[in-house]
Amino acid sequence: MANLVYKRVSTDQQSTDRQNLVLDEAGIEDPIPFEEESGTSSRLHPLQRPTFRELLKYARPGDTVHISEMFRLVRGTQHVLDVLDVLHRDRLALRIHDGAFSAMDLTARHPRTGELLSTVKFMVQTLAAAGELQRDLQRELTYDGLRAAEAKGNKGGRRPAVPAGKTDAVRTAYLEGRSIAALARDHDVSRGAIRTAVADLLPEYTAADQDAPAPELAVVLDMPGKVADFLRAAKLEPAARAALDQGVTVRRGQGYTLRVSTEPEVHRQLLDRCQPLSNAMAIPTQRKARREYANRVNALGADN
């Protein structure tokens, strides 16, 4: 029987040092490590994360999955219950070595029905809800801090890829005939960053058609939380990523929806990007969530 050790961090700036310390102190015998790619979001359902899916394929009945703390693996109540169902199905044990869940046998089942013990389910739901509340409060405090900073004239968001001190040099070089690709190599930035710096000098800008139709107006749609969780961990175009990041969270019982305001075309891009949630590998609640979002996006075309 193998000891499978799972690790994950949410951002590229974090490390697994703390997890390593907890797991090393646990004295796990012959550990087999499985570590998600750095920056794998906790919003992505555990059963959709590449390395955890690899772990489940590798595992055999009787093996034990080790994690430093519960929220390295799951985010909310439904994630916990979904993972416990899969571990029970595959006859795998779960060992948590730190935090509120470390003293609990989360795999305990009723001897006759085979269902998760009601006391275990209650504790899981209570502790997971408390964890979600803590993260929601942190987000609210962060938002309030950003608003206070904006009121003082400090703007948030990413810094431009081309530093302000180099923008004039980039623009001068472009006017002298230097190509966008060459400037991107010279300054070690993307071509998009160079195009942003010289946007008003580009031929398509100066030759813009004054009779061109007005751009599409933003439309507000409610995106189910499970769709938003998937998209936050996906690779998106800048406009789609911005729309998602600026969405407003609306709590719905134990779940939530994300109120997204953006152009219909961007909504269609987001819908296309979450196509994997329609596949057989997705859990039923994810497929249902994607259908709901698809109905709302497709209705935009009917209204035009």
Sequence-separated (6 or more) residues with CB below 8 Å from residue 60: 1, 2
Q: How many CB atoms lie within 10 A of CB 144?
A: 10
Mean pLDDT per 10-residue section of the chain, whose length is 304 residues? 88 77 90 85 80 92 89 75 83 83 66 68 67 66 69 59 82 84 84 81 55 62 90 86 86 82 89 87 86 88 53
Which stretch of DSSP H or E encloses residue 5?
Answer: strand 3-7
DSSP code, position 109: B
Enter the pTM of the model.
0.44
* Own/partner pairs, 245-249, CB within 8 angstroms, 24+ separation: 247/223, 249/136, 249/139
Sequence-separated (6 or more) residues with CB below 8 Å from residue 215:
263
pLDDT at 216: 59
